[in-house]
Amino acid sequence: MGQGDNKNFSLKNYFLGKYGRDTKEYKMATQNFLKSLVGYSLASYILQIKDRHNGNILLDNEGHVVHVDFGFILGEHPGFYCVEVAPFKFSSEYLDLLDDLLEEFKMLFLEGFIALRKHSERLCRIIEILSENSDVRCINKRVLMNFRDRLKMEMSDKEIEIYVMWLINKSLNSMGTGLYDSYQYFSNGYL
C-alpha cells in the first residue's frame, strides 16, 4: 500500500469496516478492545514493556489487543535513548475508538491497579526469585526496587486514585508515543 493510501486509515475506521456501524459486533469488539487495553496498559506500566509500536501491538478477530514482542521489559529499551516515557501506550487513535468509554477505561484501570497492589508481595517475590543468580540483564535488585515503587504501596486508596488518573493523563498526552509511532512508520512502514 502506498503512503498516500494511508491517509484515511485509522483504528476506528478499521473497526467500522470490520464490524459495521451500530452493530452488536462493533459494540462487542470495542468492549473487547477496552478491557484488553486496560490489561495491556497495566502490564505495560508494571512490567515496563517497551518497543510499543504498532508493529508489536496486534488485534485479534474479536478486537482484543495483543502485544507480541517482549524483548524489552523491566527497564530495558531499544536504542541508546528511550522516547517511550509514557507509563503505557494510549494513542489518540485509542481515544478516538473508545469515544465515550474513556470513563469506563479509567474505572477499570483503577480497579486493576488496586488488584495488583493486593498481590504486591507475591508479584515482588516472583521478580525477586527471577533476580537470584540471573544472567538476564533486565532482572536485578534495582529492577525489584523499581517494580515495588511502581506499585506505590505507601499511598492511601485516595492517593492511588489521584496517581492512577495522573498515569492515564500522562499516557494520553505523551508526545513520545506519537514520535515513536511516526519513527516506526517511516522506518518500517508500521501504521
User: What does 98-130 look like in DSSP terms, one character per residue?
Assistant: HGGGHHHHHHHHHHHHHHHHHTHHHHHHHHHHH
Q: Which domains does the chain have, with CATH numbers?
A: 8-188 (1.10.1070.11)
87 contact partners, CB below 8 Å, separation of at least 6: 41, 44, 45, 167, 170, 171
Residue 10 has pLDDT above 70, yes or no: yes
pLDDT tens figures, 65-75: 886 655 556 66
Give the C-alpha separation, 180 to 121, whole Å: 34
- Confidence at residue 77, expressed as pLDDT on a 0 to 100 scale: 52
- Report the pLDDT value the prediction gives residue 1, as an integer from 0 to 100: 31
Instruction: Give the cell for residue 7.
Output: 491517509
- What is the DSSP-derived secondary structure letter of residue 5? G
| pLDDT one-digit tens code per residue, 83-135 | 556 788 888 888 889 988 999 999 999 999 999 999 988 887 877 777 776 66
Looking at residue 48, the DSSP 8-state letter turns out to be T
Contact between 145 and 63 under an 8 Å Cβ cutoff? The reply is no
pLDDT in tens, 13-71: 989 999 998 999 999 999 999 999 999 899 888 888 766 556 567 778 999 988 665 55
